[in-house]
Amino acid sequence: MTFASGDPTTLLLVRHGETALTPERRFSGSGGSDPELSATGRRQAEAVAGVLATLGPVHAVVSSPLRRCRETAAATAGKLGLEVQVAAGLREADFGVWEGLTFAEIRARYPEELAEWLASPAAVPGGTGESMDSVTRRVEESRDKLLAQFPGQRVLVVSHVAPLRTLVRLALGAPPESLFRMELAAASLSEVAYYPDGSASVRSLNDTAHLR
């Protein structure tokens, strides 16, 4: 693959820090509660802010509207003297009645629905939730707006597992099932560059060195 000349637009992808639900690996989407960062999550947000301050210029900070992301984003924005911009399209998926449950609990209570969700991006989780096809459409729209608004710049994007995995999947041109083969830890950092010719390059994925 050849890249067109000119500076790429770089999205620095950060998953929010931990909430009380994160260590238990409970589904926490946009259809349930809106938890704040835990004490560990706040420390993680400060660690992300510290490393981002050393990685070169950041021209904008954009966050999901959910509280855990806005709190994570605010830590970096404060260090950089930037305002947090909110993008509704970067919110987490709505998991319907699965909200607050672990994967094991969902598998025990809703085995057929879970199997369908894992097999098809068109499947609706939890009966009333949001399909991954729907997530993909709004994430694509949010991505395209950012690329148009910040050409050649570096933008911090603070979001959740499903939207961030989707951005990486689309950059790689990978199939939908690849979403379930990526690890994105709380407060992890990934980086995707988008070039003027329309191509993209995943530069890093799930970097957690700043948390050690």
Active site residue 92: yes
Which residue among 18, 92, 99, 191 is the active-site one? Answer: 92
Confirm if 72 and 187 have CB atoms less than 8 A apart: yes
Active site residue 113: no
Q: What is the rounded distance in angstroms from the CA atom of residue 23 to the CA atom of residue 193?
A: 31
Contacting residues for 90 by C-beta, under 8 A, at least 6 apart: 62, 63, 64, 65, 69, 139, 142, 157, 158, 159, 160, 163
Confirm if 193 and 167 have CB atoms less than 8 A apart: no
Contacting residues for 135 by C-beta, under 8 A, at least 6 apart: 93, 162, 163, 166
Tokens 């050690």 locate to 212
Residue (of 130, 142, 127, 135) closest to 179 by Cα position:
135
In sequence order, which ranges of 20-175 are alpha helices (DSSP H)?
Answer: 39-52, 67-80, 103-109, 111-119, 132-149, 161-172
Which residues are marked as active site? 16, 92
